[in-house]
Structure 1
């Protein structure tokens, strides 16, 4: 079963979420979270930090990632590990895979005409809101 990760990166003030505009399929033209494949021999957390750095230039020193949930898709024979983190300081993000931007949180993240993931992004954001005091004290 192939593993993937998705990374919810909030700015230091928790009022913006790092998003990307997909340049290729799946979800071409839609906004999505950053992430990627878990390679053979990697732990999920190692893959999350690697993908984060490759796609955004955000390093392990800039953010502490917390593993908050997983999705398992039996029909597609894959699973997705969801990590969330709050930046420790302001950073400049850059990446070539997709167009990166900081979204304010006053969006309808369940709108599938704007956001990838069939509503999963909205679900994950709501879970973070409900539980942020547990892991964002750092």
Structure 2
């Protein structure tokens, strides 16, 4: 079963989320979160930090990632690990794969004409809203 990761990166004020505009299918032209494949021999968290650096220039010195949830798709024989992090400071983001941008959080992330993932992005954002104090409590210690 192939593993993937999705990375929810918030700015330091937790009022913007890093998104990309997909340049190819699936979801070409739609906004999405960054992420990618978990390679053979990698743990999920290792792959998450690798993909984050490759796609955005954000390193483990800029953010701590927390494992938020997983999605398992039996028909497609894959699973997705979802990680969330809040930047400690401003970071210049850039990457070759997709156009990156910071999205305000007042969007309808369930709108499938604008956002990839069949509503999953909206669901994940709502989970972070409900649990952000618990997710980031270790960071404050």
Distance 2:135 2:71 in 1: 20
Give a deviation string over 1:94-129, Cα, whole Å, max 9, x none: 001000000000000000000000000000000000
Per the alignment, residue 107 of structure 1 pairs with 107
Provide the residue aligned with 1:56 in structure 2: 56
Using the TM superposition, give the Cα deviation of residue 136 of structure 1 relative to its aligned residue in structure 2, in angstroms: 2.0
- Name the CA distance, whole Å, in 1 between partners of 2:6 and 2:112: 17
Unpaired runs of 5+ residues, structure 1, are none
Aligned length: 138
Q: Which runs of 5+ in 2 are unaligned?
A: none
Cα offset, 1:88, TM superposition: 0.6
Distance in 1, Cα, partners of 2:38 & 2:48? 8
CA distance in 2, matches of 1:89, 1:82: 22
Report the alpha carbon displacement of residue 31 of structure 1 after superposing the two structures with TM.
0.0
Per the TM alignment, residue 15 of structure 1 is displaced from its structure 2 partner at its CA by 0.2
3-state DSSP of counterpart to 1:26:
coil
Aligned to 1:67, the other structure's residue is in SS state: strand
Shift of 1:135: 1.9
Other-structure match for 1:45 = 45
Report the TM-score when normalising by structure 1. Answer: 0.99
Partner of 2:134: 134
Answering whether residue 7 of structure 2 is matched by residue 7 of structure 1, we say yes
Q: Does 1:72 align with 2:72?
A: yes
The residue number in structure 2 matching 1:93 is 93
Tell me, what secondary structure is at the counterpart of 1:91? coil
TM-score by length of 2: 0.97
Note the aligned Cα RMSD (angstroms).
0.5
Name the counterpart of 1:84.
84
Hey, what does 1:20 align to over in structure 2? 20
Secondary structure in 2 matching 1:49: helix
